[in-house]
Chains A and B, each alone.
Chain A
Amino acid sequence: MLEIKNLNISFVQGEKEANALRGISLSLKRNEVHSLVGESGSGKTVTSTCIMGLLPTPPGRINSGQIILNNQDLLLLEEKDQRQIRGKEIAMVFQEPARYLNPTLKVGDQITEMLILHLGMSNIEAVDRALEILELVGLEGGKRILDSYPHELSGGMKQRIMIAIAISCNPAFLIADEPTTALDVTLQLQILNLMLSLKNTLDMGILFISHDLRVVHDISDWVSVIYAGRIVESTSRKELFTNPKHPYTRLLLESIPDADKRGQRLQTIPGKVPDAENIPGGCAFHTRCPIAEDICKTDLPETKEVGSDNSGTSHTAACHFIGKQWKN
């Protein structure tokens, strides 16, 4: 199990402090897809880069928290031990492949490098394996692709190279940050199926970060909803989609566009995600919440068990007024 406990991270610039994560706790089991959903700027990527030990400090500052893997707190490890874990135990598919791929190195070399380094393959073995992986991620024309530099590939192709690098060493945990945003639906399906099959065959635990609720619905076992650096709701996929409790989750589920709504304006959640430098007091969502009352402006709601079914599935949410109705 990979456990994130009470992670609190700020970005400090002069006298300004942006509180990006305000006590995130998550646990990722093996053989499970745990999705993290939330609006742009809510802290998803900061969470994942921190797990990977890639958070730039400064300007980033870890105020508190632990990331526990095999009874070790990764945050306390030396850099070289961290590097050992990264790539082999935990691998990551970055949201912005163009930033993490080396522009001066052919993508083929970037994949084989991992295989040679972590799995001790010979060059020839590595190339063969790389071609196999390319096929898994739906990249046709193997040799041409291996021979290309990142800028010669399309957006979705770079994203799949990122996935190829991440899965090349069969990691125990995979963090996939918006791994299919640049992909068309057929490939998206292929990649999601690939992840599910890796989950099953390698017992892989996947932290799946996405803003696309349809995809999350299709792939997850468990879903956590993040808002302004805090988890506001967390439960099984089925519970979340059939019985959302937090008003934010409920509004998110209502704003999915589809063809039936042509000509109508899309529903949006009123207001904006607060910026990390000015997070409202109390419940951070109160400024946009249809059911907020005075207490929401002052008191941070505790995360509590809110499940109503008897199946024993945990369902937690952080809201003072769970169950309160609102009119449109």
Chain B
Amino acid sequence: MEKLIELKNIIKVFKSHKLISVKKDNYVAVNNVSLDIQKNTIFGLVGESGCGKTTLARSVMMLDPPSSGEIIYNGKNISGISRKELHPYRSRMQIVFQDPNSALNPKMSIYNCMKEGLVNRKFPKDKMDSKIKSLLDLVGISPNHVNRFPHEFSGGQKQRIVIARALSMEPEFLVLDEPVSNLDVSIQAQIINLLLDLKDEFSLTYLFISHDLNLVSYLSDEVAVMYKGEIVETAKTEKIMKKPMHPYTLKLFSSAPGKDSNNLFEADDSYREGLPEKFTYFPPNPDSTLQLIDIGEDHRVGCYTLNGS
């Protein structure tokens, strides 16, 4: 297998907007994240709200470059390069934003909004009309509605329009940030099936961000669990589904809807299940730094070295 994306020690810090701010007012949203995404696979990223998933995705796309760290795309380090050099990568990587409103210009009909992208990649004018209509049709939006404006669509309809627009760019790498969270199961299934077909047909690679564990485990080849800006566990999907290790992963898995909420997993500080000696899941002191250790077959869990060892 070949890597499409390599992230090395990505850190993203948001500066405080206080006039006089000290370092501790800054907010570290993504802390030292390293991961690889293999070509033509689906990489699932899960984690609690506010843990830094969107921030990480925006960094990967260089929309909001990381404060430090490297992004290697297809062997090329794109984190330090100029806007101009970055340009060709912009259309090869697309993102479906979590909030469709932020991706749709309210003053533009969806026809024009779709057209904008296609014109950018010099799509032949005479085929424009049918292309736009067929893309919208793929995501279940009636081609009769091309002249409508974003506010005339329901939440889920907008989400699908944004997906159609990302697909129109024929990207090779697609970040999907909660792409189906607003969709009911049936349309969700339709979109997921579509994404899987496209992946096979065009050898696409996806970074799939979702809080729906069922969906992520159905879809992804690999999964990473993020917690407070750091990756705390990553493995092949079957591995992590069968034997989740990190206390946060366990908690996440035990709180999925449909499960008995009285059996919520809560670990205490002494919980060290599955870790080699001298490691612990909970930071032994405030300065300890998280490390990912391999507990076998690329199943990596985040832990700390115990004091004194």
How many chain A residues touch B (Cβ–Cβ < 8 Å)? 61
Q: What is the bound-complex CA distance between A217 and B55, given in angstroms?
A: 32
Say yes or no: A40-B183 contact (C-beta < 8 A), given A155-B54, A186-B255, A193-B261: yes
Q: What is the bound-complex CA distance between A265 and B188, given in angstroms?
A: 12
Say yes or no: A45-B102 contact (C-beta < 8 A), given A39-B186, A257-B189: no
Query: Is A125 close to B, CB under 8 A?
Result: no
Q: Mark B178-214, 1 if CB is under 8 A from A, else 0.
A: 1001111111111011001000000000000001111
The distance from the CB of A323 to the nearest CB of chain B, in whole angstroms, is 23
Indicate if the CB atoms of B185 and A261 lie closer than 8 Å: no
| B1-9, B43-51, B67-75, B296-304 - the one binding chain A | B43-51
Say yes or no: A184-B48 contact (C-beta < 8 A), given A95-B155, A211-B156: yes
Q: What is the bound-complex CA distance between A258 and B216, given in angstroms?
A: 9
Q: What is the bound-complex CA distance between A95 and B184, given in angstroms?
A: 14
Q: Mark B145-177, 1 if CB is under 8 A from A, else 0.
A: 100000011111100100000000000000000
Residues of chain B contacted by A45 (CB below 8 angstroms): 154-155
Indicate if the CB atoms of A99 and B101 lie closer than 8 Å: yes
The distance from the CB of A20 to the nearest CB of chain B, in whole angstroms, is 9
- Interface positions, chain A 126-147, Cβ under 8 Å from B, are 138-139, 144
Indicate if the CB atoms of B258 and A218 lie closer than 8 Å: yes
The distance from the CB of A100 to the nearest CB of chain B, in whole angstroms, is 11
Query: Is B78 close to A, CB under 8 A?
Result: no
Q: Mark A194-218, 1 if CB is under 8 A from B, else 0.
A: 0000000000000000011111011
Say yes or no: A189-B185 contact (C-beta < 8 A), given A40-B156, A155-B98: no
Q: What is the bound-complex CA distance between A153 and B213, given in angstroms?
A: 23
A262's nearest neighbour on chain B, judged by CB, is B218
The distance from the CB of B48 to the nearest CB of chain A, in whole angstroms, is 5
Query: Is A315 close to B, CB under 8 A?
Result: no
Indicate if the CB atoms of A268 and B257 lie closer than 8 Å: no
Residues of chain A contacted by B264 (CB below 8 angstroms): 189
Band of interface residues on B: 35 or more
Say yes or no: A98-B186 contact (C-beta < 8 A), given A185-B213, A211-B156, A259-B218: no
Indicate if the CB atoms of A257 and B50 lie closer than 8 Å: no
Say yes or no: A41-B154 contact (C-beta < 8 A), given A98-B101, A252-B186, A257-B215: yes
Q: Mark B228-246, 1 if CB is under 8 A from A, else 0.
A: 0000000001000100000
Q: What is the bound-complex CA distance between A277 and B251, given in angstroms?
A: 46
- Interface positions, chain A 3-28, Cβ under 8 Å from B, are 11
Q: What is the bound-complex CA distance between A252 and B188, given in angstroms?
A: 11
- Interface positions, chain A 208-250, Cβ under 8 Å from B, are 211-215, 217-218
Query: Is A38 close to B, CB under 8 A?
Result: yes
- Quick one: which of B27, B187, B213 contacts A40, CB cutoff 8 A? B187
Residues of chain A contacted by B252 (CB below 8 angstroms): 184-186
Residues of chain A contacted by B102 (CB below 8 angstroms): 98
Indicate if the CB atoms of A11 and B144 lie closer than 8 Å: no
Q: What is the bound-complex CA distance between A37 and B102, given in angstroms?
A: 26
Residues of chain A contacted by B193 (CB below 8 angstroms): 265-266, 268
User: In terms of DSSP, what is the predominant structure of the interface of chain A?
Assistant: loop
Indicate if the CB atoms of B241 and A183 lie closer than 8 Å: no
Indicate if the CB atoms of B257 and A272 lie closer than 8 Å: no
Residues of chain B contacted by A278 (CB below 8 angstroms): 144
Residues of chain B contacted by A154 (CB below 8 angstroms): 49-50, 53-55
- Interface positions, chain B 109-166, Cβ under 8 Å from A, are 140, 142, 144-145, 152-157, 160
Say yes or no: A266-B99 contact (C-beta < 8 A), given A183-B49, A188-B211: no
Residues of chain A contacted by B140 (CB below 8 angstroms): 272-273
Say yes or no: A275-B101 contact (C-beta < 8 A), given A40-B184, A182-B181, A186-B255: no
Query: Is B295 close to A, CB under 8 A?
Result: no
Query: Is A187 close to B, CB under 8 A?
Result: yes
Indicate if the CB atoms of B154 and A144 lie closer than 8 Å: no
Q: What is the bound-complex CA distance between A144 and B102, given in angstroms?
A: 23
Query: Is A255 close to B, CB under 8 A?
Result: yes
Query: Is B13 close to A, CB under 8 A?
Result: no
Indicate if the CB atoms of B257 and A181 lie closer than 8 Å: no
Indicate if the CB atoms of A184 and B183 lie closer than 8 Å: no
Residues of chain A contacted by B38 (CB below 8 angstroms): none
A46's nearest neighbour on chain B, judged by CB, is B154
Say yes or no: A252-B185 contact (C-beta < 8 A), given A96-B101, A155-B99: yes
Query: Is A269 close to B, CB under 8 A?
Result: yes
Query: Is B14 close to A, CB under 8 A?
Result: yes
List B residues at the A interface (Cβ < 8 Å): 14, 27, 46-50, 53-55, 98-99, 101-102, 140, 142, 144-145, 152-157, 160, 178, 181-190, 192-193, 196, 211-215, 217-218, 237, 241, 251-252, 255-258, 261, 264
Q: What are 16 pairs between A and B in contact, CB < 8 Å?
A: A39-B186, A40-B157, A40-B184, A153-B50, A154-B50, A155-B49, A155-B54, A184-B252, A186-B252, A211-B182, A217-B258, A255-B188, A257-B214, A257-B218, A262-B237, A265-B193
